[in-house]
Amino acid sequence: MYSTSAREVGQTVVAGPGEGPYSLTAGPDGALWITLVHAGEIARLAPGGRLDRYRLDSADCGPSVITAGPDGALWFTRARDHRIGRITTDGRAGSFPLPTPECGPFGIAPGPDGALWFTQMHADRVGRITTDGTVTEFPLPTSGALPSFVAAGPDGALWFTLNRGGAIGRIALDGEVALHPLPTADAAPVGIACGGDGALWFVEIGAGQIGRITTDGRVEEFPLPDRACRPHAIAADASDASGTCWFTEWGGNRVGSVTPGGRIEEYDLPASSSEPHGVVVGPDGTVHVALESGAVAHLRP
């Protein structure tokens, strides 16, 4: 199904052209926290619209994916200088170096063990960092697979996408890894999220599909109306008891939703060529989308 009328769509400008809002998350302070990947900054957008921007110690560090940590701070990957960043809700930022040179940290998510887990795109590894900065790295049984996003699953493990490996991976807290190949060749999975139905949902940027994998490795794929729309990120809607997930269509300038049964709806964004990337759903059901054109879009129920 295709829809453009069920949601009010607006946007808030948070950056200039070329500064690149990329990822965003809901903070413990009720604000949205946003990575400005090309500016080397983290932005905070308060519910009333106030915007604060915090410069990091390197303008070229490439802040990429951001998440709320178990310690009340925000944690993010610095893909260009190969560090993990941390910023408190009052704007104090720091970072931790990683043991493997040029590893390219990208996805990051809190695990059930009170630590943050992250992917290393260029090193075929998944890492774990405690809130005091202790890092452990786990090698994957593959090469050149480009591990991308990561999410905690309902089974006490972390699940991640292998963009060039055409697979979904699972890593247990002890580092044991299992890989699940996808049915579609060159699917290039990117974003992944734990859905309300107890499965992991992911997007296939190369195939124009939404995927679902159960914790025992069974995969379903749902083609999108526009197979060239290049879906990028996905997030669960905790406010929706039916288990809906929301995803961005980077190449289609749209945001979409998918139910556990595979019903898909899509919504046009107000500005053309806005390059939607990260997505998060607030507790009131508002869908927030990072637009690399310089804004955050809001799809209100």
Each residue of 106-160: pLDDT tens digit?
A: 999 999 999 999 999 999 999 999 999 999 999 999 999 999 999 999 999 999 9
Exposed, middle or buried by CB within 10 Å (0-12, 13-18, 19+), for 186?
exposed
End-to-end alpha carbon distance in the chain: 18
**What letter does residue 30 receive in the DSSP assignment?**
S
Give all strands of the β-sheet with 200-204 in edge-to-edge order.
Answer: 189-194, 200-204, 209-213, 219-223
Phi, psi of 83 (to 5 degrees): -135, 165
Tokens standing for residue 58: 């390197």
| Structure confidence at residue 214 (pLDDT) | 98
| Structure confidence at residue 240 (pLDDT) | 85
- Is residue 277 one of the residues assigned to a domain? yes
- Is residue 83 one of the residues assigned to a domain? no
- Is residue 49 one of the residues assigned to a domain? no
Number of domains in the chain: 1
| Structure confidence at residue 6 (pLDDT) | 63
- Binding site for Mg(2+), residues? 275, 292
In angstroms, rounded to a whole number, what is the distance separating the alpha carbons of residues 288 and 301? 12
In angstroms, rounded to a whole number, what is the distance separating the alpha carbons of residues 161 and 210? 13
| Structure confidence at residue 4 (pLDDT) | 43
What CATH number has the domain bearing residue 196? 2.130.10.10
In angstroms, rounded to a whole number, what is the distance separating the alpha carbons of residues 58 and 126? 24
Burial letters 11-49, b for 16+ CB under 10 A, else e: beebbeeebbbbbbbbbebebbbbbbbbbbbbbbbeeee
- Is residue 72 one of the residues assigned to a domain? no
Read off the pLDDT of each residue in 69-93 and give the average, rounded to a whole number: 98
Query: What pLDDT band is residue 17 in, cutting at 50, 70 and 90?
Result: confident
- Binding site, residues? 232, 275, 292
- Binding site for substrate, residues? 232
For 253, the domain range is 8-20+106-300
* Percentage above 70 pLDDT, the chain: 98
| Structure confidence at residue 14 (pLDDT) | 97
- Is residue 133 one of the residues assigned to a domain? yes
Read off the pLDDT of each residue in 258-287 and give the average, rounded to a whole number: 94
In angstroms, rounded to a whole number, what is the distance separating the alpha carbons of residues 186 and 251? 17
C-alpha torsion 213→78→126→186, nearest 10: 50
Contacts of 123 (CB under 8 A, 6+ apart): 100, 102, 103, 104, 137
Whole-number mean pLDDT of the chain?
96
Cβ atoms 226, 249 nearer than 8 A:
yes
Least confident of 90-94, 165-169, 229-233, 241-245: 241-245
Show which residues are catalytic: 277
| Structure confidence at residue 96 (pLDDT) | 98
Cβ atoms 45, 29 nearer than 8 A:
no
Strands 32-36 and 21-26, bridge-based pairing: antiparallel
- Is residue 227 one of the residues assigned to a domain? yes
- Is residue 196 one of the residues assigned to a domain? yes
- Global pTM reads 0.96
Residue 5 has pLDDT above 60, yes or no: no
In angstroms, rounded to a whole number, what is the distance separating the alpha carbons of residues 151 and 110? 8
Read off the pLDDT of each residue in 25-41 and give the average, rounded to a whole number: 98
- Is residue 218 one of the residues assigned to a domain? yes
